[in-house]
Amino acid sequence: QKEVEQNSGPLSVPEGAIASLNCTYSDRGSQSFFWYRQYSGKSPELIMSIYSNGDKEDGRFTAQLNKASQYVSLLIRDSQPSDSATYLCAVNINGGYQKVTFGTGTKLQVIP
Amino acid sequence: DVKVTQSSRYLVKRTGEKVFLECVQDMDHENMFWYRQDPGLGLRLIYFSYDVKMKEKGDIPEGYSVSREKKERFSLILESASTNQTSMYLCASRGRVSTEAFFGQGTRLTVV
């Protein structure tokens, strides 16, 4: 079992819709969870971090964490074509020196 | 403005050559990381360093070594480049208490 799993997509949503991206992780002791966005040919950039169960909202983005079920999700409301990118889930696996493990990413396409 | 700078954007090397990839950060971060990114495999951790002269193997250290003589600089060394090391290499840094990892622009290495 991979430490961090994501559906590779592509996930296609129409402009203005809600995009829902999901991620599961294997280490029950994981403490910190991150969502990065990566445009084609560019480096990943952090868009959300979440540390406790529940929802965390930042503008059009909402991160959701459920430690009991070991999943973390990212919702993008009012999706825009500029949101088209690969979204990487990252987890600070417990016991490492700030080690962060990435999923393979989900490619999101927002259709105008 | 925070900055992680990788020495080359594109690099072409011959099989068997010794290759140095350099990364410099200006944020006084303790933790630095080298990842490679391949289609379908996502970001995989090669090595990381949590202090000067300290290093830890990541998930795929074979064929690589690293050097961290100064806090701001983390070098990745391919002792004898092989074609299966053709990839995008990403350097990242992260503070001791900070949660966000900042990435360099990436080096696309082709080994022929």
Summarised one tens digit per residue, pLDDT across range A28-55 is 888 889 999 999 989 999 999 998 999 9
Per residue in A56-70, pLDDT (tens digit) is: 999 999 999 999 999
Inter-chain CB proximity B94 and A43 less than 8 Å = no
Quote the minimal CA–CA distance from A104 to chain B in Å. Answer: 4
Q: Considering only CA atoms, which of A104, A100, A37, A101 is closest in space to residue A74?
A: A37
The predicted pLDDT at position A27 comes to 87
Tokens of B67: 């050097």
- For an interface test with B, the pick among A27, A43, A47 (most B C-beta atoms closer than 10 Å) comes out as A43
Highest mean pLDDT among A27-41, A62-76, A83-97, B89-103: A62-76
